[in-house]
Amino acid sequence: MTALLATARADATQSRVIAHPPTAGSLSVRGAAGSGKTFALVARAHRLALEHRGTILVTAPSDAGVARLREGFGDDAAARLAPASFGDIALRILREHCGRDVDAIDDITASMHFERAGAALFALDWTEFVSADIDPEITGLRAPERFSAAAFRLIRKLRAALVSPDDFRIAGLRGATAFYANPPNLADAALLAETPGKYRDSLRVSAAELERQREREVDLVRILARLYASYVDVLVSNGCLTPTDAVYEAALALRARPDVRLRARETYAAILVDNAQDLSAAQLALVEGIAADGMSNVTFAGDEAQNTRSFAGGGRGVAALKQAATTHELDGRFRCAPAIERAARSVLDPKARGDHDRTGDPAVVLYRAGDAGDEARYVAEEVLRLIARGTPPERIALLKRNVRCAGVYIDALLARGIEVEVAGSASLFDFPVVGDALGALWSAVDPYRHDFLLRVLASPWLRLNDASLAILCGDAPQAQALLFPLPDDVHGARAGRWDRRRDVRLGRNVVRGDVDAELSGETRQRLASFRAARDRWEALARTLEPCELVQLVLDETVLATSSDDARGRFERRLIARLITMFESAAVRDPLASLYELLQYFERVTRIEDDLLALGANDAHAVMVLDVEAAKGSTFDAVFAVDVRAGAWPRYYTPDAFLFMPSAGMIPKENVGDARAARTAKFTYALHAHKLRDKYAAEDRRALYTAMTRASAHLSISASGRPTRGLGTPEFLEELLGHQ
């Protein structure tokens, strides 16, 4: 990427740099993957910087995309070329042009505030429930945590789509009226044929049943509208904004206040957007608000075939690419070998499948393994072979639809001494070494958290065997008599079957040594060292800052036993990320103790996958990425792994409820006195809007994007027996030429 941008700077003054047309309106630079869109955009940015006195804004829908642009521009970014994220742009508008005192928070913090805002609902304390105005038997409320997570995901999408709480409520009520006042033909032959047998009973509904479902849908709309309004009151009104919230608020301010719009437009001489196909409605509105009249100073660059964010609230930039006043099509292909291009195009359109799989071209390899372990071994051996032939590790990438399930591939690479780096939508807390680190920290502040203490006792720095753990979990042979007897029945437990001492037994035996006499001499010695370390940590906690104590504990435990090989270096990078997270949390809450920080991270571990992300470190290592993290990157060799039905493409598993502006709320689960598991509206919406087909089409575009990251070598692999591809397509089998 850096070399590409350096070349762009050298070409900035030459005539072949794309010039803005004299006609009013935006310019669209379109082309397939590897056609040089980013090259053209960056070259144009440098040309505009020479021609104009104002700031040249260069941005992208994702923070990862902006980071790549910022890295490529280097020192030039400090002058008038300004790579910035949409969140940063919006915050600047709100602070400098609107005079608002706002603070940036992340989505994780926002989700925790939202959970607290909805606590009254989950306790059924709302007056609407008390007065029976709302039926508490609502879709999803049987599982409050799942309901809360689904509601927060919906609110984030509504913010990205510029839908206010009132707009949402009105659209939800209007959609319910439109559907139930004039129901569609639920006995349609095509609808029945497409609906699986186990859900066809949802279509056999009477007028009374439809009315019951309508009432519950209206109640769901009222509940979600109330939650959405509570979210705005708790966070946004108090100046705590996520990047999505900031873009929403800034876009509305630009629409409503001409003075803000004028000052914002004077700030930027030109606006250039890379990967524009992934823009959300709010991001696109922000661009329109800060652009000159007619968007005459805006350049979009993108490829609609790489739109992989439509189900996450993106994809609105596709229309901007198509509707630009002037379009510049890039026809060249500078990245991929011809065989890779043919394979990638055939994934987008199976009917146009070529004969790449029968030419014997070594650039594309298709492999189906017996199981995931066999596939991981194959990939690791191929990577090792490429490195032995001279391919730098950082020029090799493993791309997976969900990085959180990439553990088997990472282990196979590390077992062969191959350096690995991970980036994408994944949780740091899924890695075992991070769990060990959290266990060590919890043992320093609370030895009675037995879930973590057991992990510490079995960790590499203590290595107690199962027999020793069993002894430590048992009663001492001559336990000290209690001064006061404990009740036999507590919290509704059956009399005689519950003993409060069990709640503290393991921690007591470890801290006090009540069962040391039954342990071997070596085990006693290890426990004695651990107790001494704990005593020292407790004493230092009174004088050290929490992050200093974190570093000390991890230095003496996880890092002290880390090996000096690829796995050890990988684990140390993960621990470095964990320490950085503690430092960031301490900055947000400088008065928090280590115990409170650990409680915070315990809540973080329950956060949904799409709120967590790992950024790539600058390591000379094989990259393990998801598609979003890989966008804009080029590698000599790419391994698209786990390309099987259910993993890539993923099975379509919608939330407990969907929302469409035209249809309103679409609850999935039927509750109360229902005779069917699903609502009639949900079953009909799946058929009418072809949601499953659209979901699979997005995964096709994701695989196309992954395949076109490779310049010389592409491997696509899967494991297990292929399905018939009826509900979810088998991409690998399509490439192999089978039906």
State the CB neighbour count (10 A cutoff) for residue 176. 23
Question: In angstroms, rounded to a whole number, what is the distance separating the alpha carbons of residues 141 and 134?
Answer: 12
Q: Determine the distance from the C-alpha atom of residue 284 to the mean position of all C-alpha atoms in its chain, rounded to a whole number.
A: 21
Residue 242 has φ and ψ, to the nearest 5°, of -75, 170
Whether residue 393 is predicted with pLDDT greater than 70 in this model: the reply is: yes
CB 17 within 8 A of CB 10: no
Which CATH number applies to 338-428+617-654+692-736?
Answer: 3.40.50.300
CA-to-CA distance for 37 and 19, rounded, in angstroms? 14
Which residue do the tokens 């928070």 mark? 105
As a whole number of angstroms, the distance between CA 148 and CA 682 comes to: 20
Mean confidence (pLDDT) of the chain: 85
Which burial class, exposed, middle or buried, applies to 438 when counting CB atoms under 10 A from its CB (0-12, 13-18, 19+)? buried
From 121-125, 400-404, 563-567, 626-630, the region with the lowest mean pLDDT: 121-125
Q: Kindly tell me if the per-residue pLDDT of 600 is higher than 80.
A: yes
Q: Which residues, in sequence order, are CB contacts of 359 under 8 Å at separation 6+? A: 339
* Residue 682 banded pLDDT, cuts 50, 70, 90: very high
pTM, two decimals, is: 0.88
Rounded to whole angstroms, what are the CA distances from 358 to 339, 355, 364, 366?
A: 11, 5, 10, 11
More confident call, 226 vs 382: 382
| 2-102+241-330: CATH superfamily | P-loop containing nucleotide triphosphate hydrolases (3.40.50.300)
Quick check: helix, strand or coil at residue 9?
A: helix
Highest mean pLDDT among 6-10, 365-369, 483-487, 585-589: 365-369
pLDDT digits (tens, 9 = 90+) for 231-265: 898 888 788 899 999 999 999 999 999 999 999 99
Instruction: Give residue-wise pLDDT tens across range 397-438.
Output: 999 998 888 999 999 999 999 999 999 888 888 899 999 999
Stronger pLDDT, 315 or 384, i.e. the higher one: 384
State which of 112-121, 441-450, 501-510, 598-607 shows the largest mean pLDDT: 441-450
Burial of 652 (0-12, 13-18, 19+ CB in 10 A): middle
CATH 1.10.486.10 is the classification of domain 429-605: yes
CA-based radius of gyration for the chain: 29
Token readout for 226 is 């109330």
In tens, the pLDDT along 23-82 reads: 568 899 998 888 888 888 888 888 888 887 788 999 999 888 888 888 767 665 446 787
CA nearest to 718, candidates 329, 421, 370, 463 = 370
Give 607 or 652, the one with higher predicted confidence.
652
- Per-residue confidence (pLDDT) for residue 2, from 0 to 100: 45
The pLDDT score that the predictor gives to residue 455 is: 92
- Please tell me the distance from the alpha carbon of residue 168 to that of residue 170, in angstroms, as a whole number: 6
User: Which residues face 326 on adjacent strands?
Assistant: 27
Taking the C-alpha atoms of residue 328 and residue 27, their distance in angstroms, rounded to an integer, is 7
Structure tokens at 169: 């409520």
More confident residue, 105 or 140: 105
The pLDDT of 359-381, averaged and rounded, is: 89
- Whether residue 667 is preceded by a cis peptide bond, meaning omega within 30 degrees of 0, is no
Higher pLDDT, 143 or 204: 204
Task: Identify the weakest region by mean pLDDT among 97-111, 158-172, 551-565.
Answer: 97-111
| β partners of residue 28 | 300, 327
Between residues 623 and 53, which one has the greater pLDDT? Answer: 623
Measured distance CA(37)–CA(576) in Å, rounded: 35
Tokens of 665: 């709320």
Residue 614's φ and ψ, nearest 5 degrees, are -115, 125
- Does residue 158 carry a pLDDT above 80? yes
Give the residue range(s) of CATH 3.40.50.300 domains in the chain.
2-102+241-330, 338-428+617-654+692-736
CB-CB neighbours of 91 under 10 Å: 23
| Intervals of CATH 1.10.486.10 along the chain | 429-605
Single out the residue of 596, 586, 599 nearest to residue 547, CA to CA.
586
Task: List C-alpha distances in Å: 160 to 152, 304, 369.
Answer: 12, 19, 41
Q: In this structure, which amino acid lies at residue 118?
A: G
Residue 547 to residue 165: CA distance in whole angstroms: 40
Is residue 484 over pLDDT 80? no
d(CA 298, CA 282): 16
SS3 139: coil
Which tokens in the block code for residue 582?
A: 């503690």
Whether the Cβ atoms of residue 638 and residue 397 lie closer than 8 Å to each other: yes
Confidence tier at 495 by pLDDT (50, 70, 90): very low
The answer to whether residue 345 scores a pLDDT higher than 50 is yes
Least confident range of 61-70, 150-159, 683-692: 61-70
In this predicted model, which residue has the larger pLDDT, 494 or 104?
A: 104
